[in-house]
Amino acid sequence: MKQPILEVRKLQKSFGGLRALDGINLDIHEGEVVGLIGPNGAGKTALLNTVTGFYRATGGTILFQNQDITHRPMHEIGRLGIGRTFQNIRLFRRMTVLENALVAFRPFADHPLRSLIAYRERRMAIARAMHWLELLQLADKVDRIASSLSYGDARRLEIARALVGEPSLLLLDEPAAGMNENETRRLVDDIAIVRRHVRAIVLIEHDMDLIRSLSDRLVAMDYGRKIVEGASAEVLNHPEVLKAYLGTDTEETVS
Amino acid sequence: MISDQLFFTGINVLLAWSVYIGLVTGSLSFAQGAFMAFGCYGAGVLTVKFGWPLLPACLVSAILSAMIAAVLGYPALRLRGVYLILVTIGITFCARVALENIDYVGGVGGFGGMRGADLNAVIVAVLIVGAFLLWFSFSPLQRICDAVREDDRVASSLAINVTFIRLLGFSAGAAIAAIAGALYGHYMNFVRPESFDVLLSIYVVLYVVLGGTNNMLGPLIGATLMTLLPEYFRVLAEWRPTVFGLAILAMLLFRPLGLLAFRLVTAHASVSAPRKSGSL
């Protein structure tokens, strides 16, 4: 089997006495969309935050495309090609839609001083940003202030912004949270398009329909550990997973 | 007299911009008094003791000041909010005490003999710094700074080196404050360490808060109004701090973002492309 893009090995993250990640292992392979599920507090977002360098791992290693990124600062991890969105939408609210996307344009982000005189690249930047904004159906809203966007549009802009940075691995933290049924359906279509442009996607989600229709593989977490891993149907019906979600023995809750 | 007033207005505008450029990257600095003092004494030593002309002395002291800011800022800018404010106030105190104890530049007694700056010099400085800030306002760098200011965590997830951007803003501010200090010293002919009191740093921040922190015109308006208005209300001269305080309170209540609160947009989609209107 080919070398995975992302290899998480025995990763640990503790906050004082609380073990948010308790020696978790995870492989993400080329072309995969992996769904990460688990009850609240299972450590899903902690895993994303540790992989992207926002949390400092207290143990274990993270290899991304064969490079050890365990203790690298966040912006370097971003430069290596890991992009992400956030559980609570985090746009630059005072900027326009176009500006939000442009912030991620790598030549400027990597060489901020040179961006002062890089006039030719400014057109290129706008073209790149427009490309992703069109893909996510935001082209007619480019001059709107980000804080005025609808919930679904804001979510899509966050994904577009991450894509302008041209990541090879995209981490989506509950992209459908707070969306209505229509918006969720649209999001499924969008992510289906997006997956053709990145090497792999990791998706945290509570919406089981979305998880089922998008993920090639599911990883269920609880107490900072991986409890089950495999095909969607298999994982979703696994007694350990049901137990983690329902909090009691499965026999008592079978209806 | 009028040229005195205009000169001090120009100095205060430069100082307000020096605070603004740090604020653009999200760092509020009360250390401008220290960097102004450094610029003043640094350029003063070069002109008085070494016989340099003012212009190169000014530029060299600005560059040195930026370098000192980078060294101080590297640890200090890890702090945010109120902790950073305290550290920058500390820098201003330390600078003053240090100058009072360096006999080479006159210690507590003060340092004199600097000359050569006039109203024209400060006007040229304001025009150059203003033109630079205007150019910066429409650049991708402004956008990157805005991103760092608004959400540093998201900015770093987008491959932006937040530490570097903050150091850049802090150092650029220090350089501008040093130029203001150098011009001030060479206009006054004589300065003392207490001229660069922490109160000066506080006043400068207030100019910016009053004028607005979202664009480069805010600090310009704030500094100009707050320097010239007291001159035209001489009766109120003794009440200046009180009036100032009340003005700040009124602003915070009615216009918390400052007199000029708008933000300039740094990019528009190409005008030549057919604009789609409405929803698809």
Interchain contact, B154 vs A165, CB within 8 Å: no
Of all helices (H) and strands (E), which one includes residue B90? helix B81-100
Find the mean pLDDT for residues B216-223.
95
**Cβ-defined contact of A123 to B270 (cutoff 8 Å):** yes
> Mutating which of A76, A84, A99 best tests the B interface, going by the most B Cβ atoms within 10 A?
A99
CB proximity B159 to A under 8 Å: yes
Asked if B40 and B191 count as a contact pair (C-beta separation under 8 A), the reply is yes
Instruction: Compute the radius of gyration of chain B from its Cα atoms.
Output: 20
CA dihedral of residues B115, B119, B125, B130 (deg, nearest 10): 160
Mean pLDDT of the A243-252 span:
66
Q: Which residues of A134-164 are buried (b: 16+ CB within 10 A; e: fewer)?
A: ebbbbbbbbeebbeebeebbbbbbbbbbbbb
* Residue contact B155–A73, C-beta within 8 A: no
pLDDT at residue B280 above 70? no
Residue B16 to residues B72, B126, B162, B209, B240, Cα–Cα distance (Å) = 20, 11, 23, 9, 19
> What pLDDT shows up at residue B73?
96
pLDDT of residue A124: 94
Residues 6 or more apart in contact with residue A78 via CB below 8 angstroms = A52, A109, A165, A167, B156, B157, B158, B159, B160
Q: Is B221 inside a domain boundary?
A: no
With cut-offs at 50, 70 and 90, classify the pLDDT of residue B20: very high
Choose the closest CB to B159 out of A98, A113, A165: A165
Q: Which two tokens stand for residue B133?
A: 């800030």
Residues of A with CB under 8 A from a CB of B: 52-54, 73-75, 78-79, 83-84, 86, 90, 92-96, 98-99, 102-106, 108-110, 112-113, 115-116, 118, 122-123, 125-126, 130, 137, 139-140, 142-143, 161-162, 165
A98:B269 CB<8 A: yes
B265 in contact with chain A, both atoms CB, cutoff 8 A:
yes
The secondary structure of residue B274, as a DSSP letter, is P
| Mean local confidence (pLDDT), B64-86 | 94
* pLDDT above 60 for A31: yes
Residue B179 lies in a domain: yes
Q: Report the alpha-carbon distance of residue A103 to residue A125 in Å, rounded.
A: 9
pLDDT value, residue B241: 78
Closest residue of chain B to A103, computed from CA coordinates: B144
What is d(CA A205, CA A95) in angstroms, rounded to the nearest whole number? 28
What's the pLDDT at B238? 77
Tell me which H or E stretch contains A245: helix A239-246
Number of domains in chain B: 1
Banded model confidence at residue B272, pLDDT cuts 50, 70, 90: very low
Amino acid letter at A201? I
Q: Report the C-alpha gap between B162 and B246 in whole angstroms.
A: 36
Whether B44 is covered by a domain: the verdict is yes
> How far is it, in rounded angstroms, from Cα B211 to Cα B258?
5
Given a contact cutoff of 8 angstroms between Cβ atoms, the answer to whether A141 and A134 are in contact is no
Q: How far apart are CA A187 and CA A9, in angstroms?
A: 31
What range does the domain containing B140 cover?
2-197
CB pair distance less than 8 Å for B157 and A115: no
Point out the residue among A99, A104, A105 whose CB comes nearest to the CB of B265: A99
How many pairs of residues across A and B have Cβ atoms under 8 Å apart? 119
Q: How far apart are CA B190 and CA B164, in angstroms?
A: 37
Which of A4-18, B209-223, B254-268 bottoms out in mean pLDDT, i.e. has the lowest?
B254-268
Q: Is the pLDDT of residue A208 over 90?
A: no
Partners of A83 on chain B (C-beta within 8 Å) are 157-158
Residue in B140, B151, B276 closest to A90 by CB: B151
Whether pLDDT at B259 is above 70: yes
pLDDT at A249 over 60: no
E-only strand ranges, A151-209: 169-173, 200-204
Residue range B187-204: mean pLDDT, rounded: 92
Predicted-complex ipTM score: 0.91
pLDDT value at residue A209: 87
Tell whether B260 is covered by a domain: no
Element (H, E) at B163: helix B162-188
**How close A226 comes to chain B (CA, Å)?**
25
Q: Where would I find the beta strands (DSSP E) of chain A? A: 6-15, 18-28, 33-37, 59-64, 67-68, 82-84, 169-173, 200-204, 217-222, 225-230
Contact B139/A137, CB-based, under 8 Å?
no
Check A103 against B160: CB less than 8 A apart: yes
Q: Among B105, B99, B84, which Cα is nearest to B30's?
A: B84
Does a structural domain hold residue B126?
A: yes
Q: In order of start, what are the domains of chain A with their CATH numbers?
A: 6-253 (3.40.50.300)
Chain A residues with beta carbon closer than 8 angstroms to that of B162? 75
pLDDT at A1 over 80: no
Distance from C-alpha of A160 to C-alpha of A193, rounded to nearest angstrom: 12
CATH number at residue B183: 1.10.3470.10
Closest approach of B126 to chain A, Cα-based (Å): 20
Residue contact B269–A126, C-beta within 8 A: yes
| Nearest CB neighbour to B160, from listed A75, A86, A95 | A75
Q: How crowded is the C-beta side of B59, counted as CA atoms within 13 Å?
A: 5
The answer to the question of residue B212 being in a domain is no
Phi, psi angle pair for B227, to nearest 5°: -90, -45
Give the DSSP letter of residue B194.
G
For A1-20, what is the mean pLDDT? Answer: 91
Residue B92 counted as domain residue: yes
Residue range A167-206, pLDDT digits in tens: 999 999 999 988 888 889 999 999 999 999 999 999 999 8
Closest CA–CA distance from residue B152 to any residue of chain A (Å): 10
Q: Is the pLDDT of residue B232 over 70?
A: yes
Task: Tell me how far CA of residue B19 lies from CA of B179, B201, B209, B210, in angstroms.
Answer: 13, 9, 10, 13
**Residue B258 placed within a domain:** no
Contact B151 A99 (CB under 8 A): no
Query: Which pLDDT value is given to residue A248?
Result: 59
Amino acid at B242: T
